[in-house]
Structures are given as structure tokens and as C-alpha cells.
Amino acid sequence: MMKRVYLIGYMGSGKTTLGKAFAQAAHLQFIDLDWYIEERMHKSIKDLFAERGEEGFRQVERNMLHEAGEFENVVIAAGGGTPCFFDNIDYMNRTGETVFLNASFEALFRRLKVAKSKRPLLSGKTDEELKEVIRNGLAERMAFYGKAKHWFPSDYLESREQISESVEQLKKMLEES
Ligand SMILES: Nc1ncnc2c1ncn2[C@@H]1O[C@H](COP(=O)(O)OP(=O)(O)O)[C@@H](O)[C@H]1O
Ligand SMILES: O=C(O)C1=C[C@@H](OP(=O)(O)O)[C@@H](O)[C@H](O)C1
Ligand SMILES: [Mg+2]
């Protein structure tokens, strides 16, 4: 049976990390939508934001989502904003199993504090500003993340062992659904 799994969730929730490990364990292809966009556009996410603004980036992101959504037997790690624009979340629910990685605020802050540079929406923020961005971002976006078919707790990605355990839990959850 053809499998297409979309991982969604806020920046830092573990979509890229867990997606890659899960795809390997489940013998599925892995597409990180950000990487796919950079590959197809020959341009970094950062430069796309700088040159086209967020609106222009979202147009590209939607088009690339529909391209990646054609792949079969695949795990697609979306970008944090992907479900929140156009009808992207409905498209993902129509074409695959959507999993919301529900990381805690504390885990998101801890992870994003050390990984702001490549995320245009976070670069240059102080710790306090970052906490505000995460808090407001989650509040705005839960309406979209909440439409996912499945929710998965993704605080446990801080070591190889935790990632392997999370992969097993995710596999079990999807097999039982
Ligand atoms: N195994 C790990 N070891 C250390 N830090 C990690 C690990 N996995 C994820 N992280 C941290 O969490 C951040 C978010 O993980 P990532 O998979 O990139 O999430 P997303 O794709 O949802 O933004 C990474 O940028 C990194 O800072
Ligand atoms: O939340 C967002 O709007 C974004 C999240 C990023 O992906 P990650 O969630 O993988 O960091 C990337 O798509 C872009 O920086 C915008
Ligand atoms: Mg990512």
C-alpha cells in the first residue's frame, strides 16, 4: 500500500531530524521541503525570503509542496509555515497521513536558541524576543497544526537513542491507524 507521510509542526519541532530517521527505518524516501525548494530554486531559503519577501516564498513553497506531493512511498518534512498558507494543510490531508510534531515550548526554545541563523523569521532575535516569536507563532498556527490526522510528542530527539525510540513510537502509531 502506497505511503505518503507529512510531518508538520513549528520550527524546531524535529520534522527534519525525525523525518530523516523515520524514512530510513521505514524504507521510505525522505524529502525535506526546505531542502527540496533550495535544490529546485538553486537558492537558499534565506535568499528567497530576502529577494521575494515572505509572500513570494509562500508561493514557491506551495508549488514545491505540490511537486513533492507527487512522490510515492515518501516522508515529507514540511517547513514550519507550510500548513498555514493557502489550502496546504487540506492538500496534505487529502494526499497523505499528516503528523503534527507537538514539541513543548521549552524544547522549541532550547533547540531554536542554537539554530536561529538559517531561519529568516528568527535571525537576530534576543532570547526574550525568540520566546515571544515562539509563543505568538504557536498561538496563531495551532488552528492549522491541529488539523493534522495524528499528533506526536517530539521532545525526545536529543540523542541517537531518543531518536531511535521516537522512530519506533511513530512507526507503531502509524501502523495502528
Ligand atoms: N539529534 C540532535 N542533536 C542536537 N540537536 C538537535 C538534534 N535534532 C534536532 N536538534 C536541534 O533541533 C533543531 C530542530 O530540529 P529540526 O529537525 O531541524 O526541526 P524542524 O525541521 O522541525 O525545524 C535543530 O535545528 C537542532 O538545533
Ligand atoms: O515556520 C516557518 O515559517 C518557516 C520554517 C522553516 O522550516 P523549519 O520548520 O524546518 O525550520 C522554513 O520553511 C522557513 O524558514 C519558514
Ligand atoms: Mg526542518
pLDDT tens profile 80-118: 999 999 999 999 999 999 999 999 999 999 999 998 888
Q: How far is CA 58 from the centre of its chain?
A: 14
Spell out the domain ranges in the chain. 4-168
Reading the block at residue 78, the C-alpha cell is 514540511
Q: What is the DSSP letter of 87?
A: T
Q: Output the pLDDT for position 150.
A: 98
Residue 118 has a pLDDT of: 81
Looking at residue 96, what is its pLDDT?
Answer: 98
- CB within 8 A of 38, min separation 6: which ones? 44, 45
What is the per-residue pLDDT for 153? Answer: 97
More confident residue, 33 or 177: 33
Q: Given pLDDT bands bounded at 50, 70 and 90, which one contains residue 119?
A: confident
List pLDDT tens digits, range 40-78.
Answer: 999 999 999 999 999 999 999 999 999 999 999 999 999
Residue 16 Cβ contacting ligand 1 at under 6 Å? yes
* Predicted TM-score (pTM) of this structure: 0.95
Ligand 3 geometric centre to CA of 16 (Å):
4
Ligand closest in space to the Cα of 7? 1
Burial class (CB in 10 A: 0-12, 13-18, 19+), 88: buried
Tell whether the model's pLDDT for residue 15 goes beyond 90. Answer: yes
**Domain spanning 4-168: CATH 3.30.1330.30:** no
Question: DSSP string covering 11-37, please?
Answer: TTSSHHHHHHHHHHHTT-EEEEHHHHH
Would you say the CB of residue 16 lies under 6 angstroms from ligand 2? yes
One-letter-per-residue 3-state SS of 106-171: HHHHHHHHCCCCCCCCCCCCCHHHHHHHHHHHHHHHHHHHCCCCEEECCCCCCCHHHHHHHHHHHH
Best probe residue, ligand 1, of 104, 111, 117, 159 (max atoms within 8 Å of C-beta): 111
Nearest in space to 164 (alpha carbons), one of 17, 27, 54: 17
CB 114 near ligand 1, within 6 Å: yes
Looking from the CA of residue 121, the nearest atom of ligand 2 is: 15
Q: In this structure, which residue's CA is closest to atom 6 in ligand 1?
A: 158
Is there an atom of ligand 1 within 6 Å of 108 CB?
Answer: no
For the chain, the average pLDDT equals 96
32 lines ligand 2 (CB under 6 A): no
Nearest CA to ligand 1 atom 5: 158
